[in-house]
């Protein structure tokens, strides 16, 4: 199950550049068609590219990349993170490595009306794609939530850009109200996009841990959390 890999996955930055077997790649492409969106109405597209079809500022190269493009509308970045983290966990479940590439772009502009958002690199890792839970460098639950609700451990372990962990959760019964840190003008220009994607990643961890009961909604009058803005709420009873 995908939730089993929340406590094992890690970002891979050194890949074996040999392409995956076609049957493995086919399974990954098939899984992309089954991923659950956070917002059903937002149109998204996936494309799979090879080694020389992506340019990256950072020295991370992989044999395969999944590119996600989306309709640009309210909540679309969180929706992208929610979708792509399901793929990240699926790739991990196949014994493969993966890595979000926030500074990478396709070498050629896609013929699509949708906005390119982000790339996930994947392939066989030169090192183990897994780690022990004790190796995660994360904030304690007391720093990311109003109480030590162990159901939020999956949020605590979620990956985020530069390991910023921008989330805060107000846990009230079976409802989890999620918030993202407010940034100043300069930092906001640099990190707001990735922070909103990160919030979708955290929500994906709640979803894969509670697939039969998870539902997502917007609360009209959510609690106010100083220094954070409201993203949405998850019911996980």
Between residues 194 and 191, the one the model is more confident about: 194
**Strand 97-101 with 175-181, pairing:** unpaired
Q: pTM higher than 0.85, yes or no?
A: yes
Domain borders along the chain are 2-123, 137-235
- Please give the Cα distance from 168 to 101 (Å, whole number): 24
Tokens of 178: 């999620």
- Please give the Cα distance from 62 to 43 (Å, whole number): 27
Pick 2-123's CATH classification: 3.40.50.1240, 3.40.109.10, 3.90.950.10, 3.30.413.10. 3.40.109.10
- At residue 8, the pLDDT reads 95
Adjacent-strand bridge partners of 97: 123
Mean pLDDT score, 29-47? 97
Adjacent-strand bridge partners of 27: none
**169 three-state secondary structure:** strand
- pLDDT tens digits, residue range 171-188? 999 999 999 999 987 777
Number of C-alpha atoms within 13 angstroms, CB side, residue 107?
8
- Quick one: 207 exposed, middle or buried, by C-beta within 10 A (0-12, 13-18, 19+)? buried
Q: Of 143, 151, 150, which Cα lies nearest the Cα of 228?
A: 143
- At residue 237, the pLDDT reads 80
- What does the mean pLDDT of the chain come to? 95
Q: Of 63, 55, 53, which Cα lies nearest the Cα of 104?
A: 55
- pLDDT tens digits, residue range 103-125? 899 998 877 899 999 999 999 99
- Please give the Cα distance from 32 to 10 (Å, whole number): 20
Of the candidate ranges 30-34, 56-60, 75-79, the one whose mean pLDDT is the lowest: 56-60
> What is the fold, at CATH topology level, of the domain defined by 137-235?
NADH Oxidase (3.40.109)
- Please give the Cα distance from 90 to 104 (Å, whole number): 22
Q: Residue 45: how many CB atoms within 10 A of its CB?
A: 14
Q: Of 177, 184, 175, 162, which Cα lies nearest the Cα of 224?
A: 177
């Amino acid at each position: 199950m995908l939730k089993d890999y929340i406590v094992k996955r890690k970002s891979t930055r050194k890949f074996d550049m040999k392409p995956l077997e076609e049957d493995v790649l086919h399974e990954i492409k098939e899984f992309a068609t089954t991923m659950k969106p956070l917002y059903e109405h937002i149109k998204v597209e996936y494309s799979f590219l090879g080694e020389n079809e992506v340019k990256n500022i950072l020295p991370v190269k992989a044999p395969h990349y999944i590119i996600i493009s989306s309709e640009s509308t309210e909540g679309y970045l969180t929706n992208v993170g929610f979708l792509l983290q399901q793929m990240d966990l699926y790739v991990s479940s196949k014994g493969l490595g993966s890595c979000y590439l926030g500074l990478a772009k396709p070498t050629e502009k896609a013929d699509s009306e949708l906005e390119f958002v982000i790339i996930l690199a994947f392939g066989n890792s030169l090192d183990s794609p897994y780690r022990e839970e004790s190796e995660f460098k994360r904030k304690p639950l007391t720093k990311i939530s109003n109480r030590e609700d162990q159901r939020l451990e999956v949020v605590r372990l979620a990956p985020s850009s530069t390991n910023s962990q921008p989330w805060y959760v107000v846990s009230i019964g079976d409802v989890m109200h999620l918030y993202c840190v407010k940034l100043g003008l300069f930092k906001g220009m640099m990190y707001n996009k990735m922070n909103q994607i990160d919030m979708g990643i955290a929500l994906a961890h709640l979803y894969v841990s509670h697939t039969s009961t998870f539902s997502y909604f917007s609360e009209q009058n959510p609690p106010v959390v100083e220094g954070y803005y409201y993203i949405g709420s998850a019911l996980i009873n």
